[in-house]
Structure 1
Amino acid sequence: MAHTQSLHEEEAHGSLSGYLAGFVLAVLLTAGSFGLVMRGALPPQSAMIALAVLAFAQIVVHLVFFLHLNTSSGQRWNVMALCYTAVASIILIGGTVWVMHNVSMNMMSR
């Protein structure tokens, strides 16, 4: 009988401690965002920047701890797909904001 290799051998699977660490970090980041808004500790502009940083950290926690995205050779295509998605999203959102800003500026009465 021939020995067959599993297609999932190269993939990293999480451990209970990894999932718990990810869960605790996600809860702390969520609580921090909620507390930041509810207390009104920062001015609106600073609060938006702080929330964006916390949201980015939350994304990284989910990608690393729950989706097991890393820099190993087995994950190369997943990382490339994530980078393409991020660039496409930035172009789409940035283009939309740019167009809406220009429409707003052109529609203002003089």
Structure 2
Amino acid sequence: MANAHSHDSHDAGHGSVKSYAIGFILSVILTIIPFGLVMYPSLPKVWTLWIILAFAVIQVLVHLVYFLHLDRSAAQRNNVIAFVFAAMVIVLLVGLSLWIMFSIHTVMMAH
């Protein structure tokens, strides 16, 4: 019976219908605007690319907060640390791989 009580208190941290609705609406808005910029180009391509990148980062944060319930609470601290570590590893792997490929390409084209 003690497990049922601790399980109920753990579920209390999950989002409400209002929280999910806000997350859904923000996600739709953050998808429609970049889609519209691509379908109806009115800005320079570089600006469009930067706007899409910014909206993608914002959308990831919206998903983390509203759907995965990552926040600054003590209960979520380990999950946030694990996420930040995984993101750092991915950025390092992708960034360093691109750096290596660019360096190899530069050296091979010089000869």
How high is the TM-score relative to the length of structure 1? Answer: 0.90
Rate the CA distance shift 1:30–1:89 in 2: closer, same or farther, 3 A. same
Check conservation: 1:29, 1:58, Cα contact below 8 A. Answer: yes
2:48 is paired with a residue whose SS is helix
Query: Deviating runs (4+, > 6 A) in structure 1?
Result: none
Larger RCO, structure (CA 8 Å, separation 6 or more): 1
Query: Could you tell me how far 1:55 is from its partner in structure 2?
Result: 0.1
How high is the TM-score relative to the length of structure 2? Answer: 0.89
Normalized per residue, which structure has more helix?
2
Matches within 5 A, 1:1-110: 4=2, 5-7=5-7, 9-10=9-10, 12-109=13-110
Q: Which runs of 5+ in 1 are unaligned?
A: none
Give CA-to-partner distance per residue, 1:17-48, whole Å, 9 cap, x none.
11111000000000011011111122122111
The count of residues paired between Structure 1 and Structure 2 equals 108
| Identity across matched positions, percent | 38
Q: Which runs of 5+ in 2 are unaligned?
A: none
Aligned-pair Cα RMSD in Å: 1.5
